[in-house]
Amino acid sequence: MTGIIRTSWHNAEVLSNQRWTERLLTLRIKTEPLPFIAGQFVTLRLPITTDGNTELVAKSYSLINAPDEAVLEVFYNIVPNGKLSNALAGLQAGDSLEISQPAKGFFVLDEIPKVPNLWMIATGTGLGPYLSILKTAQPWERFQKIVLVHGVPLVNELAYPDLIQGLLAEHPEQFSFIACVTQEANPEGLEGRITTNLESGALEQVAGTHISAEDTHVMLCGNHNMLNDMKELLAKRGMQRHLRHKPGHITTEQYF
Ligand SMILES: Cc1cc2nc3c(=O)[nH]c(=O)nc-3n(C[C@H](O)[C@H](O)[C@H](O)COP(=O)(O)OP(=O)(O)OC[C@H]3O[C@@H](n4cnc5c(N)ncnc54)[C@H](O)[C@@H]3O)c2cc1C
């Protein structure tokens, strides 16, 4: 017996491919039941033809839907010259693609130590896994305070406003949301990078709570620059990467 779980490929049908902006989309797909833990990702695969050669291109995407929702949802952006993201953007209702099973990944609450405060920090489409987690009962039962921070270049890239407003209305004391917009004015939140707002103290001031090694866990999801810069800033507060064999304060999911 080995512990290796083989990936199998399943057909999925596109239900919709909603555009938030020119480069930001949400793909909704239907496939056979896919058990997963909120925060995990799947691999999507499509045949792509370039210069007469067809290859199967597969990439990872976090699931945004809650595990008990039948329609699978992926929040993605079109990467300039990116093979799969451009092909995904061309899909329409009724088209098919392949999806891997089982879902994978350790960016899930079960992997996080017992602490009262949780900060969920995302750049761009890194928001996705948090939405899945926040749609479940687990975070609301476990944490006294949850702060979701979303960093984007433009205000219109603050996707899923209705879902986030709904969570704020449902959990007014327990939940805070902070948007950090880097390339234009942001009347509804903060301007500038997440890291700049952490350094200036603005993030904690707006959240009404602190980030400390004593009582906080920080989840980071998105591009490697944000992850590395945040880890450096958090290290100054005595916060380290969390590992199963060496408990810490930071859990990460790097998209690129
Ligand atoms: C665990 C995991 C989960 C992921 N979940 C998501 C998700 O939910 N949504 C999502 O949009 N992406 C997600 N990604 C990234 C995704 O897998 C692809 O890398 C991305 O869609 C680009 O694929 P592509 O084939 O279009 O580009 P490629 O042809 O592979 O890439 C072209 C170049 O663009 C760079 N690049 C890759 N992604 C980005 C980006 N987002 N912005 C700018 N440059 C980039 C690459 O470094 C590469 O040099 C995830 C990645 C991982 C590892």
* Tens digits of residue pLDDT in 49-75: 999 999 999 999 999 999 999 999 999
Q: Which residue's alpha carbon is nearest to atom 43 within ligand 1?
A: 79
By DSSP bridging, strand 216-222 and strand 250-254 are parallel
Residue 243 has what DSSP assignment?
B
Q: Is the dihedral of CA 113, 220, 91, 97 positive or negative?
A: negative
User: pLDDT tier at 109 (50, 70, 90 boundaries)?
Assistant: very high
215/32 Cα distance (integer angstroms): 40
Judged against a pLDDT cut of 90, whether residue 5 lies above it is answered with no
Judged against a pLDDT cut of 70, whether residue 1 lies above it is answered with no
What lies within 8 Å, CB to CB, of 11 at 6+ separation is: 31, 96, 97, 98, 99
C-alpha of residue 85 to centroid of ligand 1, in Å: 8
- What pLDDT sits at residue 2? 54
pLDDT in tens, 190-228: 999 999 999 999 999 999 999 999 999 999 999 999 999
pTM: 0.97
The verdict on the CB of residue 62 being under 6 Å from ligand 1 is: yes
Query: If you average pLDDT over every residue of the chain, what do you get?
Result: 97
What lies within 8 Å, CB to CB, of 242 at 6+ separation is: 111, 112, 113, 217, 248, 249, 250, 251
Which parts of the chain fold into alpha helices (H)?
A: 83-89, 128-134, 138-142, 161-170, 194-200, 202-207, 224-235
C-alpha of residue 79 to centroid of ligand 1, in Å: 7
